[in-house]
Structure 1
Amino acid sequence: MKTNFIKSLFLVVGITAFISCDDQLDIENTNRLAEEEYYQTEAEAQATVDAIYNGLIIDGNYQRMIPAINDARGDETRSRSPWAFLIGTANFTIPPTQPDVQIAYLGFYTVINRANQALAAIDRIEDIDPELRERLIGQAYFLRALTYFNATNIFDNVPLVLEVQSGSESFFPSNQETTQADIYAQVEADLNMAIERLPVNYDDPSWPDFGQDARATLGAANSLMGKLKLYQGDYEGALPYFESVVNSNVYDLAPNYGDLFSQDPALENANPGRIFWAEFTQSQNVDFNWGGDPTVNWRQFSAIAPTYSGADFYDFFPTQFLVNEMKQERTVDDELDPRYPATILSYLPEEGLTQAYGREFFLDQNENYIAKYTLANTGGDPFTCGINYHIIRFADVLLMYAECLANTGNIPLAASQVQRVRDRVNLPDREAEFAGYNLSQFMEQLDHERITELSIEGLRWYDIKRWGYLDDPAKLSELQDNDSDFATYSSNRKFQPIPQNELDRNPNLIGNSANQ
């Protein structure tokens, strides 16, 4: 079912700038409640956590910015956008003074501040079921962990704000002594709190949150913990978390790959491979969910659809490198890998691909366009696109698990995880071949498998970084061949710069390497 996170109430708990104390300016906002008037009931406890989820679907998070920033910097897409922010992000030249750099930064702290508010408030609500209280606290910790994981991977040394800001000093947090290792340690601590509290699912009909499947689960927290450790090169430490998800029998691969990127609620709900996702709908409400406080007229659409679509904003297109990777292997029936048309829109009449957006192909037949997370294969209004965004899905967990297994000496078991992903799309059985590879050979194959399964899902850039490609002259040259945007890459550009307007407002804040 679609979980409604729009109805949350927002509270007056602080300010973000100094305001005059003149009584004439003390205007009551009748659309908000003061903190002392709220946090009394179980429903209000749920609403304050719902507000955190709501922050995931604004422009600064998964509605557009997280996918766009991450996909722009990989070698699977190129940007042709007239928007200076997207072009500068794609070719690693974005300056800290570019005003739109702050969109994601503010989006992250929207979620973090709401999580802090929830954690501070829920414990003092007396009229609440104790088990529900624990589940809500677990969700708040998970969402804060997820957001700090994203924030540090995009902006590096962001300030750690772990309490509700309540005074002039706390409004100006410092990051001067904060490293990514510090932030990762906090993410791990938050995930440990979440793992202790989150359920496997929300299938108990006696619970007030029964059936609300978009909420964080134990599987989501274990998956993110494994990913956190993998990103730090701790393969041994990541293994038990991935194992718990893979062996839980809760998740499986969706039979039809294309169904993963459908806006049909029936197909979305039937998908056994979704672990955690951002919920979007096909609502036609008048207020767009770019940001700010939601209203009863809020739309909840995914802006990736018009941003990536060749028939709309057309800000990105697939590189020839991605096209070649997706065509590298055919199925056992000598057909095109079914992940190709789900990912790339091409005019290939020899493969039966002659449609675009629900009608005869009307775009340049010599060009390739992005299909994934757009309505390229179905048609429809991109500004009511309801495709849920996969934050964690089972195929990614299987491939991360395989990476950890290979790097801890168990390449045969790793090969079986890779083949499991391949089997879903009817590719040849090469498990025995992969099992005989040395680590270097296996990792080269895994690189290809992750591209074909997970391309244009905001993950490739992080694979490139953690595998050391940016620091290896030969690999960097390959990236430049794959995507000419890498021609202007420099070693201090592994992160987006801390926004200059944040540095100007906060005297305790310093920039990262990209600000230099």
Structure 2
Amino acid sequence: MKKTLLKYGIAISSIIVLASCNKQLDQTNPNAQTSASFWKTQSDAIAGTNACYQTFIEDGGYMRFAPILLNVQGDDIKSNSPWTAISNVGRFQLGTADNSGYGWTFDEFYQGISRCNQVIENVPGISMDNTVKNRLIGEAYFLRGLYYFHLVDMFGSVPLPTSTAKILPQSTVAQGWAQVKADFKAAIPLLPTTYANPDKGRATKGAAMAFLGKAYLFNGSFDSASAQFKSVIDLGVYSLMPNYADNFSENNENNAESVFEFQFSLTAGGTDLQWQGVPSSTWGFYSARAITFGAPNFGWTDVQPTATALAEYRQEKTKDGKIDPRCLATIFYNDTVDTHLANTPMYQTTFQAAYASSPAYMGDTYCKKYENWQGSKPNEYDWKSGINERLMRYSDVLLMYAECQNELGNAAECAKYIQLVRNRANLPDRQSVFAGYTKTQMRDQIGHERLLEFCLEGHRFDDIRRWGWLSDPTKLAWLKSRDPEFNSYLSGRELLPIPQAEIDNNPGIKQNLNY
């Protein structure tokens, strides 16, 4: 899947980008394809749909900036990056003049939407195998829903074009979420439950149901969210990987726990990084997350776990008296409490040896999840990683389902699914204790469990925001005590600013509050 889907993404992306221009030419170049000449065959339809995935893995997407934007605002993550396009995200101090980073994300996600719109408009008219046709249209609906999910979640009120070559006014947030849900609903009946090689990694029915459930959950529709998550569970195709760490390396990708992940590769495409601009055949399909998040002397250390995150992992020992194994898969640190970690492997050395002469480094915490620390690489400085980005894991489905059960008053069912995730980490069985919790106590427990399971996966700030903690003075004070970056939070800055270029080009767009 990595090589097939990615291989054709660049070539067709160039055609789609050029075909979206409205300039009139006096003559037709017989050697240049346009949208009118391209959408003719089943191969065209497949290549065009592959291009819809490709924008998600460019620089503003999951190649680099989407994981930054989704991670650094949480109390589990901090940034001391000298590049303010990164560090000011976590401090809620982004300016609107500099379009770097978050602006790239905004622009590239709309490029992806444009590509999805072209598939949805053009593929139905192609004479081809109907099963393949339906699947491709379903993939485009799913991906458009996912692009809009990110845009509404990050930026709030945004335009919602559902056809090509249109400039639309700003929508309301409610309209945005309605579009997200409509796209996922449209995708579900068109998508298969599983794929065989070489198509593993494409959008599935389970992925569409899981993200539809997440959209419902983010809007407090617990009955509807619960039904979607239960449908994913009942598919019977997903399970937790026995080894938690198998979810974050280049080995064991597209595994039984993966509901949806973006495909990166060290061997597909060209050799250049996908920075910005018109796609080129020289672009490779690398992730730059590893170098960006990498520990000192191994990467740029633009993103780090907080001491709070480490302390959260230390709250409860495993059944055999050790630290939660999810901590060992997530954070590099010099542990003086858990003595079984006296020599922590780190690339081709150990944490202790690497920082023996650097006391400040020795006492800090660094990203281990999604890093190439186990392979032959001595560091991450070549900017290239082939590790897939897991957007939706089965454990997330289970914990979101548990959260719905709590909100619906089903404490025993909630406790069952919380403990199911805890069992993989070899944590004590507290199911019967949890079943006796009040709804408020269970909410706090879910907050704790989700931080342990998803640290460095971009979920924590979304959770904080949707739980209303930013508008609760007690909870906000608690967040400030855990992560000083919250001291500069202003109401409204839970959303990123709309890029100034978008406001300049579309007079109907208003800036978000307090920017």
> Given the two structures, how large is their TM-score scaled by the length of structure 1?
0.92
1:297 and 2:288 aligned: no
Query: Is the Cα–Cα contact under 8 Å of residues 6 and 298 in structure 1 kept in the other structure?
Result: no
| Identity in percent | 36
Aligned pair partner of 1:268 in 253, 270, 276: 253
The aligned counterpart of 1:219 is 206
Q: In 2, distance between residues paired with 1:406 and 1:301?
A: 40
Query: Is the Cα–Cα contact under 8 Å of residues 142 and 208 in structure 2 kept in the other structure?
Result: yes
Query: Is the Cα–Cα contact under 8 Å of residues 371 and 377 in structure 1 kept in the other structure?
Result: no
The aligned counterpart of 2:110 is 109
- Which AA in structure 2 matches 1:90? G
The aligned counterpart of 1:245 is 232
Q: In 2, distance between residues paired with 1:418 and 1:211?
A: 34
Structure 2: 5+ residue stretches without partners: 356-360
Q: After TM superposition, give the deviation of residue 507 of structure 1 in Å.
A: 2.3
Query: Is the Cα–Cα contact under 8 Å of residues 308 and 315 in structure 1 kept in the other structure?
Result: yes
- Please state whether the residue corresponding to 2:152 is helix, strand or coil: helix
- Please state whether the residue corresponding to 2:265 is helix, strand or coil: coil
- Which AA in structure 2 matches 1:275? V
- Please state whether the residue corresponding to 2:114 is helix, strand or coil: helix
Aligned pair partner of 1:195 in 182, 188, 208: 188
Q: In 1, distance between residues paired with 2:30 and 2:176?
A: 36
Q: In 2, distance between residues paired with 1:332 and 1:199?
A: 40
Q: In 2, distance between residues paired with 1:154 and 1:343?
A: 24
1:182 and 2:175 aligned: yes
- Which AA in structure 2 matches 1:106? D
Q: In 2, distance between residues paired with 1:384 and 1:439?
A: 45
Structure 1: 5+ residue stretches without partners: 204-209
Q: In 2, distance between residues paired with 1:504 and 1:29?
A: 36
Aligned pair partner of 2:300 in 313, 321, 338: 313
- Please state whether the residue corresponding to 2:284 is helix, strand or coil: coil
Aligned pair partner of 1:14 in 20, 24, 43: 20
> Deviation above 3 Å: which 4+ runs of structure 1?
26-30, 291-297, 376-379
Q: After TM superposition, give the deviation of residue 88 of structure 1 in Å.
A: 1.5
Per-residue CA deviations over 1:202-252 (Å, capped at 9, x if unaligned) read: 24xxxxxx5411110010011011100000011111111000111221000
- Please state whether the residue corresponding to 2:391 is helix, strand or coil: strand
Q: After TM superposition, give the deviation of residue 282 of structure 1 in Å.
A: 2.3
Q: In 2, distance between residues paired with 1:291 and 1:306?
A: 18
Per-residue CA deviations over 1:370-401 (Å, capped at 9, x if unaligned) read: 11112234462532211111111100110000
The aligned counterpart of 2:371 is 374
1:357 and 2:347 aligned: yes
Residues 22 and 129 of structure 1, relative CA distance in 2, 3 Å threshold:
closer
Alignment coverage as a number of residue pairs: 492
Residues 217 and 503 of structure 1, relative CA distance in 2, 3 Å threshold:
same
1:384 and 2:384 aligned: yes
The aligned counterpart of 1:206 is none
Residues 379 and 68 of structure 1, relative CA distance in 2, 3 Å threshold:
farther
Q: In 1, distance between residues paired with 2:484 and 2:28?
A: 54
Query: Is the Cα–Cα contact under 8 Å of residues 6 and 50 in structure 2 kept in the other structure?
Result: yes
Q: After TM superposition, give the deviation of residue 358 of structure 1 in Å.
A: 2.8
Per-residue CA deviations over 1:146-197 (Å, capped at 9, x if unaligned) read: 11010011111110111011xxxx2x3211xx11100111111111110121
Q: In 2, distance between residues paired with 1:182 and 1:192?
A: 15
The aligned counterpart of 2:168 is 173
Q: In 2, distance between residues paired with 1:246 and 1:50?
A: 28
- Which AA in structure 1 matches 2:477? S
The aligned counterpart of 1:283 is 267
Q: After TM superposition, give the deviation of residue 40 of structure 1 in Å.
A: 1.1
Aligned pair partner of 1:256 in 233, 236, 243: 243
After the TM superposition, which residues 43-58 of structure 1 pair with which residues of structure 2 at under 5 Å, given as runs? 43-58=43-58
Q: In 2, distance between residues paired with 1:336 and 1:129?
A: 53
